[in-house]
Structure 1
Amino acid sequence: MGAGATTTAEATPAGPPAPLPDGDAPGAADFYWRVSDSPGEAARRDPFSAHVFACILAVSLSEAATRGEPLERALGLGADALAELVARWLPGARACVDLSAEPREASFDDEEEQLRGLLRAHQADASAEAAWLTDMMTRRSLSDTHLWQDLGLLARDELTRLMLQRYPALAARNVENMKWKKFFYRQLCAMEGFTLCTAPSCRECGDFDSCFGEETGESALARIRRDASRTA
């Protein structure tokens, strides 16, 4: 989990993937290209953060469209915060987002509020971007795949880089490179003064691979990765 971990963001192709067949709904990769079009000034200054925001927004748009639900349910941002994020970072997303159909603020259940509190307490700064990212990560963590996949990122090393930049004190605690979701909930348990683990140590635990095994799989933006490999 080194600070110099590379990201595949720089490996994305220069142009969008081939058009979808007629009648096909846009997938996450297609939404990524749409929301990344015409980046804002903030995105030009910080392309990695812009890439992260685009990934999360793209996978959430795809999920919301598939389920026929408001974007807030998948993204964790209400209309007010989303409008500001789009204006600063991803003006191209205006064509993909119907702010009038969204609640002004996102709502979180009790479990989400616990994780949200943990992330907020360890943000590197008090910027609006940090608050948006915390809310989006909180909501996306409820999905069933690895956290880097939940966020629409291209690989786990992008999540590691994100954690080191945005939550450095929290990331520094993950010295054994535990899976991030497992690590978050271990931290929450420790804050409450109890543990769900019965083994005397992680190395002696029969569920070791569940917490520390490889986080492999295909990104929701897999079409981007495949196009990148073909143009490399």
Structure 2
Amino acid sequence: MIRGTQICYQPSERRHSQSSSTSGWPRRDFEWDFDEHVLACVLWRALEEVEAGEATATEATGLSRAELLDILSCIFPTSFIHGFCMEEWNDAEQGMEEQLLRRLLLKDARPADPKSARFAKIIARRALRDGHLWQELGLVDRSELSRLLATHFPRLAAGNTNNMKWKKYLYHKLCEAEGFSLCVAPSCQECNEFKSCFGSEE
């Protein structure tokens, strides 16, 4: 609850399909429901920044005005949209770092999936914040970020075999892609900053 605005949503009817079981109960599409949960978490964090005067909704999410309006109007109640100060929206500018992160994510996003493309933009923007990435996305814990990345960027996520912190991992992969390294240690185990990359994110 933020200044009287509560984030709640009901998964759309179109995201449910009739089960083939004899029970007759509808079968939920858990992937859609999880995606909507993530979007609700991201928008909650965005709304915090909007109300604190730290960013507009487009600046907080990395999405364009059109993309944000589409998400809000399709998933969330109209009363919730007004909290985002729509009159202040402009398409957010991207710095070079954000562009490189987007490119990295989009390279391994699920083909022709607009949801994956939007999550690439959101993750790239929120990765620029100071906190752990799952926290800056407003998620409940790190496991939710792991699930999000495994769902929409499966090949990229599968490469994190040593359970590196996700933001560190993304920048590590970015450095690899650009042909340079920010780390001079011969191996992770011999690095003085080992806990910075692999320690707890709680």
Q: Same fold (TM over 0.5)?
A: yes
Q: CA deviation at 1:79?
A: 1.5
Q: Look up the match of 2:56.
A: 70
Q: Look up the match of 1:99.
A: 86
Q: Look up the match of 2:132.
A: 146
Q: Look up the match of 1:40.
A: 12
- Matched residue SS, 2:7: helix
Residues 136-215 of structure 1 aligned to structure 2 (within 5 Å) = 136-215=122-201
Q: CA deviation at 1:128?
A: 2.1
Cα separation, 2, equivalents of 1:212 and 1:48 = 26
Consecutive unaligned residues of structure 1, counting only runs of 5 or more, are 1-16, 18-25, 217-232
Cα distance change on mapping 1:184 and 1:175 into 2, 3 Å: same
8 Å contact from structure 1 (residues 64, 71) kept in 2: yes
TM-score after normalising by structure 2: 0.84
In terms of mean alpha carbon deviation, does 181-190 or 66-75 score higher?
A: 66-75
Q: Look up the match of 2:109.
A: 123
Cα distance change on mapping 1:42 and 1:36 into 2, 3 Å: farther
8 Å contact from structure 1 (residues 43, 89) kept in 2: no
Cα distance change on mapping 1:138 and 1:209 into 2, 3 Å: same
- Matched residue SS, 1:67: coil
What do residues 12-55 of structure 1 show as CA deviations (whole Å, max 9, x unaligned)?
xxxxx7xxxxxxxx27xx75xx3323443466642111100000
Cα separation, 2, equivalents of 1:47 and 1:38 = 9
8 Å contact from structure 1 (residues 120, 131) kept in 2: yes
Instruction: Give yes or no for the alignment of 1:81 onto 2:67.
Output: yes
TM-score after normalising by structure 1: 0.74
Cα separation, 2, equivalents of 1:91 and 1:169 = 35
8 Å contact from structure 2 (residues 10, 75) kept in 1: no
Question: Counterpart amino acid of 2:89?
Answer: E
Residues 214-225 of structure 1 aligned to structure 2 (within 5 Å) = 214-216=200-202
8 Å contact from structure 1 (residues 42, 89) kept in 2: no
Alignment: residue pair count: 187
Percent identity of the aligned residues? Answer: 38
Question: Counterpart amino acid of 2:8?
Answer: S
Q: CA deviation at 1:193?
A: 1.5
8 Å contact from structure 2 (residues 116, 153) kept in 1: no
Cα separation, 2, equivalents of 1:63 and 1:100 = 16
Provide the aligned C-alpha RMSD in A.
2.0
Cα separation, 2, equivalents of 1:118 and 1:88 = 28
Instruction: Give yes or no for the alignment of 1:114 onto 2:100.
Output: yes
Cα distance change on mapping 1:102 and 1:43 into 2, 3 Å: farther
8 Å contact from structure 2 (residues 9, 75) kept in 1: no
